[in-house]
Amino acid sequence: MNLLHHLNPPQKEAVLHGEGPLLILAGAGSGKTRVIVHRIAHLIKELGIPPWQILAVTFTNKAAGEMRERVEKLVGPGEAPLIATFHSACVRILRREIQRLGYDPNFAIYDDKDSEKLLKEVVAELHLDEKRFPAKMFSSAIDECKNAGLLPGDLPTSDYMQEKIAQVYTAYQARLQKCNAVDFGDLILLTVRLFDEHPEVLRHYQDRFRWILVDEYQDTNPVQYRLVKLLAGSLRNLCVVGDDDQSIYRWRGADIRNILDFEQDFPGVKVVKLEQNYRSTRTILTAAGSVVARNRGRKPKTLWTDNPLGEKIVYRRLTDERDEARFVSREIERHVRKGGDLRDVAVFYRTNAQSRVLEDALVADGIPYRMVGAVRFYERLEIKDILAYLKVLDNPADEISLKRIINTPARGIGHATVDKVGELAAARGITLYEALREASSGGLLGAGPRGKLAAFGALMENFRILAGAVSLAELASRLIQETGYADRLKGERTPEADDRLANLQELLSALEEFDRSSGEKGLSAFLEQVALVSDLERSDAGVEAATFMTLHSAKGLEFPLVFIVGMEERLFPHVRALDDPHQMEEERRLCYVGMTRAKERLFLTNARRRRIFGQEQFNSPSRFFDDIPREFLDLEEERQGAGSSQWGTFGRFSQGSHDTDRHNLAAIFETEIEPDFPEVEVVPDEAEDAVYLGMKVRHGKFGVGTIRKVEGEGDNQKVIVWFNTVGPKKLLVRFAGLERV
DNA sequence: CGGCTAGTCATTTTT
DNA sequence: TGACTAGCCG
């Protein structure tokens, strides 16, 4: 197979580049992944590089998975190199080497919640006032430090606050180490520290990974950059791919300078620009480009496309957010009526709070949707509880998990008891788990608590023995039963408790699957996957439903039909960005990312009036409209033949005089639109035999319910179902996938 | 221990 | 406005 066959000249150039640093500036929709995948295949198949000498790094598991799949298609199954996220690549290294830094190889990985809990304890121990020094503040400060690659000793102690942060950071790290745990930031930072402090280890990995590729390079933070630079060493076979215009994670420590200054940092670098877009219509691409073109800190580039001009971008200013949602819902319905597929539709918003009213509207119209990044499976209470048991079995030093389960379900071990054991542990310099055993025999506690601790200790010891003997699914199943966790939930007899039980069942299925596919890799491996993957691969990706997500999670995706809602000043761009030019540039990039997700049709909407935190707001249209050439927009007023001449002034506004101009523009954008989209009139029809009043049905999302009303017939038939969990829902029978119970 | 209430806080969140 | 949480009381 000819690897170069379907590549354009710059793509070929990037694929064929040999040794030495390579920077690929890949605009939106320019075939970036295609280039990386082909480059990897080229290294292996043409240059004869052994796959194990190649390391490809991405930011998400999803991206890594996709890339691996595509590489395997080119080089054959099992022949792909290590393609991993930054975090999982680091875990791999740390599992082998972390003893050099004073941790055990079975270290736990704390998520944000776990580490904040630990931080709270640290703040309390240092007798700091929680009001003046909230744990959250330290949490983000420490996170920033870790992103920047700073150890506690690197912090300036000039002012009081800095000093406190350094103090808490130091104590926090000590506590983490005592728990034999690391947080997300540590995964990267400890790896860098390992390389700094143990040059021979670094040399080993430099020798191993001779070819390195980094995807989404614009999102790397300074430690990640340092890590990459260390690994690339003197061979400098480093290929980074990114787009400065799509850098939207500055607030999380991503440093856009990593990509802007790459050429200075790696003299002699080969730079390839991928500027042909294969995704969007010319209208969409040009409009998006004009929004981001206003930014100062960007690499000059011009995206172009051979695609047709396509339809105009629809702009609508609606009365309020509910009206806006109904508009979206109606347009989606129209798309479906024309024979369109719901999987082609995505709705993006700036803040999660906006999703709710959209959900309501789609539910009311019976249009199925799925929300990306909503409640994560592994973050559910009951799942975290059972996982905490597993974590203690795997790593008894894990104090946070131990404290979580010691009285869950309730077994009469209160705070006072735990505190006493904690003091004992501190005094003896042993772990809480070890102190447990001592306290359950010594004279520290009264007979009651002592007995309860002893019982808990015995329970855990039994499970530890069991853990070595049975499968993970079996272990967890017995854990759920024998700790009384299941009984407690069953006793509640509420829909919520039933949900929880169902979730636990799902956890068991995930464990079974892991037992089957991973070949006895064991508890540590499973917990690691949980920590790093954060969500269960849900099989609903192929379900016919519209997709809702924040603009941030939209990066890397594409849809034929895209809605961006809430295009208003103070919402998008967000209020917090209004007085910070750097943040404003990021908002612009975010807008660019959102718009360039659309392949064929783009809808931009906003609301004149919006309730935010119970407050009415009247926001003018987003300033991003200032930069979209007027001829690319479909405004309703145009159809009515009004006001088009006013558009001559469009686009001339300078950033400096924004506020007054804003009002002019707002006036221009006030378009005559039906204030309301009334509910569809429907004729009840009870003769239909597929569904009937009073029928008990099950819905994939809402569970079991009873049909209270049937409306319409054929494709448009709707039912109102009274669900046990969520109450009444109106559903389109065709889509609801109702199952008779 | 657990259930309630009053007070707080509200951008985005790949791992 | 509404979701979450710390702290109090039964």
Position A467, amino acid: A
- Strand B–CB A613 distance below 7 A: yes
Q: What is the dihedral of CA A212, A215, A218, A219, to 10 degrees?
A: -100
- Return the pLDDT at A1: 57
pLDDT over 60 at A205, yes or no: yes
Mode of pairing for the β-strands spanning A238-242 and A211-214: parallel
Distance, angstroms, CA A414 to C1' B1? Answer: 8
A482 catalytic, yes or no? no
Catalytic residue among A97, A183, A186, A215: A215
Q: Given the residues A33, A53, A617, A706, select the one marked as catalytic.
A: A33
Cβ distance A147 to A222 under 8 Å? yes
Q: Closest nucleotide (CA of A414 to C1')? A: B1
Q: Which of A32, A164, A404, A599 is catalytic?
A: A32
Residue written as tokens 């740390």?
A: A94
A32 counts as catalytic: yes
The CB density around residue A21, as the number of other CB atoms within 10 Å, is: 22
Instruction: Check pLDDT > 60 for residue A384.
Output: yes
| C1 nearest neighbour residue (CA to C1') | A614
Residues with CB under 7 A from strand C: A 130, 611, 613-614
The answer to whether residue A300 scores a pLDDT higher than 70 is: yes
Structure confidence at residue A431 as a pLDDT band (50, 70, 90): very high
Is the Cβ atom of A409 within 7 Å of strand B at any atom?
yes
- The CA-CA-CA angle for residues A72, A556, A503, to 5°, reads 80
Residue with tokens 């049909």: A707
Supply A595's token pair: 């718009």
What CA–CA distances, in Å, run from A436 to A118, A166, A422, A430, A457?
19, 31, 9, 10, 7
pLDDT of residue A535: 72
> For A295-307, what is the mean pLDDT?
90
pLDDT greater than 80 at residue A676: no
Known catalytic residue at A483: no
CA A417 / C1′ B9 distance in Å = 33
- Across the range A472-485, mean pLDDT stands at 93
Q: Are A575 and A588 in contact (CB under 8 A)?
A: no
pLDDT digits 0-9 by tens, A313-346: 999 999 999 999 999 999 999 999 999 999 999 9
Burial of A457 (0-12, 13-18, 19+ CB in 10 A): middle
Q: Which nucleotides of B are covered by protein (CB under 7 A)?
A: 1-2, 10-15
User: Using the CB atom, is residue A611 less than 7 Å from strand B?
Assistant: no
Identify nearest nucleotide to residue A120 by CA to C1′ distance: C6
Helix (H) or strand (E) holding A371: strand A369-371
Q: Which of A29-38, A232-241, A491-500 has the lowest mean pLDDT?
A: A491-500
A326-335, A416-425, A432-441, A635-644: which has the minimum mean pLDDT? A635-644
CA-to-C1' distance for A380 and C4, Å? 15
Q: Which of A86-100, A240-254, A646-660, A696-710 has the lowest mean pLDDT?
A: A646-660
The answer to whether residue A597 is catalytic is yes
| pLDDT in the model for residue A350 | 97
Q: Tell me A23's DSSP state.
A: E
A147 CB inside 7 Å of strand B: no
Using DSSP, state whether A471 is helix, strand or coil.
coil
Residue A677 predicted with pLDDT over 60: no
Selected catalytic residue, list A226, A391, A597, A610: A597
Among residues of chain A, what percentage have pLDDT more than 70? 87
Residue-level pLDDT at A657: 32
State mean pLDDT over A424-448: 86
- Position A681 pLDDT exceeds 90: no
| A302 confidence band (pLDDT: 50, 70, 90) | confident
At A539, which amino acid appears?
S
Q: A345 forms bridges with which residues in the sheet?
A: A561
Q: Where are the beta strands (DSSP E) in A54-210?
A: 54-58, 82-85, 108-110, 181-183
Q: Give the confidence band of A654 by pLDDT, cuts at 50, 70, 90.
A: very low
Residues of A from 632 to 691 whose C-beta is within 7 A of strand B: which are they? none
Chain C positions with an atom below 7 A of a protein C-beta are 1-2, 7
pLDDT band, residue A671 (cuts 50/70/90): very low
Report the distance from CA of residue A500 to the C1' of nucleotide B1 in Å, as an integer. Answer: 21
A376: nearest Cα among A498, A531, A555: A531
Of A593, A488, A629, A482, which Cα lies nearest the Cα of A249?
A593
> Which nucleotide's C1' sits nearest to the alpha carbon of A373?
B13
Which single residue is written with the structure tokens 């009002």? A663
What pLDDT is attached to residue A189? Answer: 97
CA(A453)–C1'(B1) in Å? 17
Report yes or no: A647 and A633 within 8 Å, Cβ to Cβ.
no
Q: If pLDDT is split at 50, 70 and 90, which confidence band does A104 have?
A: very high
Asked if A573 contacts A614 with a C-beta cutoff of 8 angstroms, the reply is: no
pLDDT at position A715, please? 66
Question: Is residue A468 predicted with pLDDT exceeding 50?
Answer: yes
Alpha carbon dihedral A520, A526, A532, A535, in 10-degree steps, equals: 120
Nucleotide nearest to A412 (CA to C1'): B1
Q: Say which amino acid occupies A99.
A: Q
Question: Residue A733: pLDDT band by 50, 70, 90 thresholds?
Answer: confident
Show the tokens assigned to A530. 């949980």
Residue nearest to nucleotide B8 (CA to C1'): A131
What string of H, E and C letters represents the secondary structure of A515-581? Answer: HHHHCCCCHHHHHHHHHHHCCCCCHHHHCCCEEEEECHHHCCCCEEEEEECCCECEECCEHHHCCCH
Cβ count near A681 (within 10 Å): 7
Which residues lie below 8 Å from residue A696, measured CB to CB, with a gap of 6+? A704, A705, A706, A707, A740, A741
Q: Which nucleotide shows the minimum CA-to-C1' distance to residue A375?
A: B13
| Across all strands, nucleotide nearest A615 (CA–C1') | C1
**Interatomic CA–C1' length for residue A218 and nucleotide B14, angstroms:** 13
Catalytic residue selected from A246, A408, A431, A717 = A246
